[in-house]
Amino acid sequence: MSVGQLVATVLVGGGMALVVVGLLSRVYQREDQLADILDLPWGERDVDLPAVIEQHSNVVETTIGVAGRIVEQVDAKGRLLLLLDQSRLPLRPGEFVLLVAAAAAGGGAFLAAITANAVVGLVAVLVSPVAGMAYLRRRISRRTRQFEEQFPDALTLIGSSLSAGHTFLRSIQLMCEEADPPISDEFARVVSETQLGDPLVDALARMAERLDIRDVDWVVQAIRIQQTVGGKLADLLHTLADFIRAREEIRREVNVLTAEGRMSAYVLGALPVILAIFVQVTNPDYLAPMFRGWGIAWLLGAAVSICVGMAIILRMVKVEV
């Protein structure tokens, strides 16, 4: 493939991705403007609400709506919506699907261009949804680790506020003002739910279910029991904070000791793929027999073997604390 064809392919793929991102950005900009108008006092900058809503591009809204309906039919349990909520990614399921589709088209066109092989581009397109879900889970995992690191200090701060005479809800509000995200965001959501009339313990239980963190679930269960049988909540929170902090120290030591194994799995898994792309780019005729006949079967077998090997290594170094 000539340099001109390569540049044209890259520009087309990148243009498609930029168009989707630009359209979604325009939608969010108008929604932010609408939210700012609704937050103003009554009578200030009065506008025709239906007219503002109809400013959205019909093409964008129709496309997002179709993608959202497809996601609802395929994912009836709302698993994708839950993952987006846990990752705090400000996208609806339909928007996320459109972004992944645009990335798949751009990435597939780029790899097909640089390797001069349509099969590589097709594989990239098929792998893109998996990569999108992996990105969500990676984002959730990083956010979960940050929450677990902040959680003991947050419990200590809430317990100290209780000892100073504040109520439980007021102590959580003070903690939200002092703490950093993501723990401040999650507890601020709890406070908002209580302001809407939800019991505090139920809001905390919903937060524990949403985060799916065992330490948070234990704390919520302990608080529920304490409110049933009585006792000093401040002392309970201090005890739980010390216990969780000790478990967090052990967890960090385990992560350090198993870091080499995880890195080995990632390197051994990525090395064959990167090497195959490099050989295909530098010498396309060398791997040509692998993309026809039994060569495709051997490539699929190699891919399965790599995935199984990475899964085994990661499972070996995974230690529950």
The tens digit of pLDDT for each residue in 254-280 reads 888 888 888 988 898 889 888 888 887
> Cα(132)–Cα(103) distance, rounded to whole angstroms?
9
Over residues 297-309, mean pLDDT: 87
CATH class of 143-249: mainly alpha
pLDDT of residue 27: 52
Provide the residue ranges of all domains of the chain, joining segments of one domain with +.
1-116, 143-249, 258-321
Q: What percent helix, strand, coil does the chain show, rounded to 5?
A: 80, 0, 20
Q: Provide mean pLDDT across the span 52-79.
A: 63
* 117 pLDDT above the threshold of 80: no
Please compute, for residue 62, the number of CA atoms within 13 A of its CA located in the half-sphere on the CB side.
Answer: 3
Give yes or no for residue 83 having a pLDDT over 60: yes
Query: For 146, how many CA atoms within 13 A lie in the half-sphere containing its CB?
Result: 15
- The C-alpha atoms of residue 83 and residue 315 are separated, in whole angstroms, by 23
Which of the two residues, 72 and 87, has the higher pLDDT score?
A: 87
- State yes or no: pLDDT of 35 exceeds 80: no
Per-residue confidence (pLDDT) for residue 279, from 0 to 100: 84
Q: Mean pLDDT of all residues in the chain? A: 78
Claim: this prediction has a pTM higher than 0.85? no
Question: Residue 102: its pLDDT value, please?
Answer: 80
Confidence of residue 92 (pLDDT cuts 50, 70, 90): confident
